[in-house]
Amino acid sequence: MIDKELAYIAGFLDGDGCIMLQLVYRHDYVLGYQIRASIVFYQKQQNKFFLEWLKNKFNNYGYIRNRPDNMSEYTIVGMKQVSEILNLLNPFLILKKRQAEIALSVIRKMPGKGKKMNADLLLGLAREVDKFSYLNYSKKRTNTSVKVKEFLQLHNVGSRRD
């Protein structure tokens, strides 16, 4: 993509989009939680064609869905895809630049192929996700680093420092 397109898309993300890091409870995970990275673009259903254009620009990552409130959303989930897109858009972001930088920092610290998440790393990253959530004015957030810590202690997983 050319810089002009990237700047336009970054402006769209700044205004009608969202960068998210979430702590997701997983009953089947030894550590109890995973970190999910996502980017979401919103648009009225009558302009859904624009979200389809975006999806095409981003290697067809993610999915588009129509919501009951006459809005469509284009959602991209996954560390690799979110990292790739944020690295493209970050030089042009203004309002969501701090979110992008924190998300990219967390993604860089995630274990790579062949390595596993451990309790200390998860708890440290969960605290970064907590900081991130304040930038997004999260109202309904219930999974926090405190809950992760409680889970780890209750299930005697990892170290007990902290």
Region of residue 137 (left: phi > 0; alpha: psi -120 to 50; beta: else): left
Catalytic residue among 3, 11, 14, 15: 15
Q: Which residue has the tokens 């690295």?
A: 87
Q: ∠ CA 101-160-23 to the nearest 5 degrees?
A: 35
Indicate if 15 belongs to the active site.
yes
Long-range contacts, stretch 53-56, CB < 8 angstroms, 24+ apart: 54/9, 54/12
Q: Which of 16, 28, 78, 114 is catalytic?
A: 16
Is 3 designated active site? no
Adjacency order of strands within the sheet including 71-77: 17-25, 33-44, 71-77, 63-66
Between CA 39 and CA 125 the distance in angstroms is 18
Active site residues: 15-16
